[in-house]
Amino acid sequence: MNDLNRTTTRVVRVGGDQPYDVVLGRRLLGELPALLGDGVRRVLVIATQAMAASAEAVRADLAESGYEALLAEVPDAEGAKTAEVAGFCWQVLGQANFTRSDAIVSLGGGATTDLAGFVASTWLRGITVVHIPTTLLGMVDAAVGGKTAINTAEGKNLVGTFYPPAGVLCDLAALESLPTFDFVAGLGEVIKCGFIADPRILELIEADPAGIVARGGKLAEGGTSEDVLLELIERSVRVKAAVVGEDLTDHGAREILNYGHTFAHAIEQVERYSWRHGAAVSVGMVFAAELARLAGRLADDVVDRHRAILTSVGLPVSYRGDRWDKLLGVMRRDKKTRGDLLRFVVLEAVAKPARLEGPDPVLLAAAYAEISEGAPTPRTIPL
């Protein structure tokens, strides 16, 4: 390998009251102490069993650098995002005498970073956290922006905090072991960034969808597929950084990052978290696009573009047609809802997000019919 071809490290700065860096590249562990900052003595690495080997490598590296470093193993995927698991982590922190000058490092997918961020934000009312996302979705979305969350029986992410990390390390090498299924789920959020803010993302994927999906374990360091992937990741992180830098606490601009999520979170809950978040977001974006079309706000070709690009990478664009009442019930608890008013992020064009507030229930049901499995095409639902 020619040294000149090696992946260069890229840094995206997230602004706001507590700015921090998202570092993208390879062999980034050396950056961790600087992100943790001065004065940290103890570090708890939070990771799942699936990431145990990498987590132990991070723990050992920290120990070698002079930290008292511990490991806490948490359940996989959404199983980590519970009050019980948060309680377990608080117990570990308490028994190891973690003080306000100590820190947490999360290593894993978005579920792990959401849980670890929540634990860090609540322990002693807030200690330093650095995220090391190991899924595409974690890198482009979950680890960036400071939203932390656990689920409750009533729904997804219903308890959480806004708590920016001290930094984020995205090591592309982690993606080599990621199953295609999970890589593709991450593309759902990448494509979301394309639709809400950066059409170049859509063009890059449309130019070679199969090539992007096939990157699998074949990510050659410094090779062409890595270049494109790095560009997609960087562009997505830049979209997110720009939005959260302006609106950390979701009072305005940040809502656009929730494109497709009202319906997506309902699918996830109704399916008892057997769907990956990114796959649910894919269906949710088509639902939102159909809703906007039916409301006369979005042109047919943009709706078609949703289906085409999402299908081209293997993401779902439809859902079973016999769950409307349950889905609607869950959507009423979406965080964008105000009182009885359901609110959706919709598009008026690519990169032109808007809000649709209190849509006619007939329109909502019609959008659901359009994305229901076996829905007739071309569209037959009258406005």
Ligand X SMILES: O=C(O)C(=O)C[C@@H](O)[C@H](O)[C@H](O)COP(=O)(O)O
Annotated binding site: 76-81, 110-114, 134-135, 147, 156, 189, 261, 277
- Are 171 and 132 spatial neighbours (Cβ–Cβ below 8 Å)? yes
**How is residue 272 annotated by DSSP?**
T
Q: How many CA atoms lie within 13 A of 49 on its CB side?
A: 3
Shortest Å, Cβ 327 to ligand X: 15
Shortest Å, Cβ 108 to ligand X: 15
- Are 163 and 255 spatial neighbours (Cβ–Cβ below 8 Å)? no
Buried b (16+ CB within 10 A) or exposed e, 331-348: beebbbbeeeebbbbbbe
- Select 77 or 327, whichever has its Cβ closest to ligand NAD: 77
Residue 290 interface partner, choices ligand X, ligand NAD, none, CB cut-off 5-8 Å depending on type: none
Shortest Å, Cβ 56 to ligand X: 28
Shortest Å, Cβ 181 to ligand NAD: 8
State both tokens at 357. 């507030």
- Select 81 or 343, whichever has its Cβ closest to ligand NAD: 81
Length of the chain, in residues: 383
Residues at the annotated binding site for Zn(2+)?
189, 261, 277
Residue 22 interface partner, choices ligand NAD, ligand X, none, CB cut-off 5-8 Å depending on type: none
Residues 298 and 236: their CA atoms lie apart, in Å, by: 23
- Select 102 or 141, whichever has its Cβ closest to ligand NAD: 141
Residue 154: Cβ-neighbour burial (10 angstroms; 0-12, 13-18, 19+): exposed
- Which residue is at the shortest CB distance from ligand X? 157
Shortest Å, Cβ 204 to ligand X: 20
Residue 307 interface partner, choices ligand NAD, ligand X, none, CB cut-off 5-8 Å depending on type: none
User: Residue 177: what residue type?
Assistant: S
Rg for the chain, CA atoms, rounded: 20
- Select 159 or 349, whichever has its Cβ closest to ligand X: 159
User: What is the binding site for ligand X (CB under 6 A)?
Assistant: 141, 145, 147, 149, 157, 189, 250, 254, 257-258, 261, 335
User: Residue 86: what residue type?
Assistant: A
Residue 254 interface partner, choices ligand NAD, ligand X, none, CB cut-off 5-8 Å depending on type: ligand X
- Select 109 or 245, whichever has its Cβ closest to ligand NAD: 109
Helix (H) or strand (E) run with residue 215 in it: none
Residue 178 interface partner, choices ligand NAD, ligand X, none, CB cut-off 5-8 Å depending on type: ligand NAD
Reference 160, options 152, 171, 169; nearest CA is 152
The answer for residues whose C-beta is within 8 angstroms of residue 251's C-beta and 6 or more apart is: none
- Are 52 and 200 spatial neighbours (Cβ–Cβ below 8 Å)? no
Residue 112 interface partner, choices ligand X, ligand NAD, none, CB cut-off 5-8 Å depending on type: ligand NAD
Shortest Å, Cβ 118 to ligand X: 11
Helices (H), the chain: 32-36, 52-64, 83-95, 110-122, 136-137, 180-196, 199-207, 209-213, 224-246, 261-270, 277-294, 300-312, 324-331, 361-371
3-class DSSP state of 337:
coil
State both tokens at 221. 């360091």
Residue 261 interface partner, choices ligand X, ligand NAD, none, CB cut-off 5-8 Å depending on type: ligand X
Residues at the annotated binding site for NAD(+)?
76-81, 110-114, 134-135, 147, 156
User: What is the binding site for ligand NAD (CB under 6 A)?
Assistant: 48, 50-51, 76-78, 81, 108-112, 114, 134-135, 137-138, 141-142, 145, 147, 157, 174, 177-178, 182, 185, 276-278
3-class DSSP state of 304:
helix
- Select 252 or 361, whichever has its Cβ closest to ligand NAD: 252
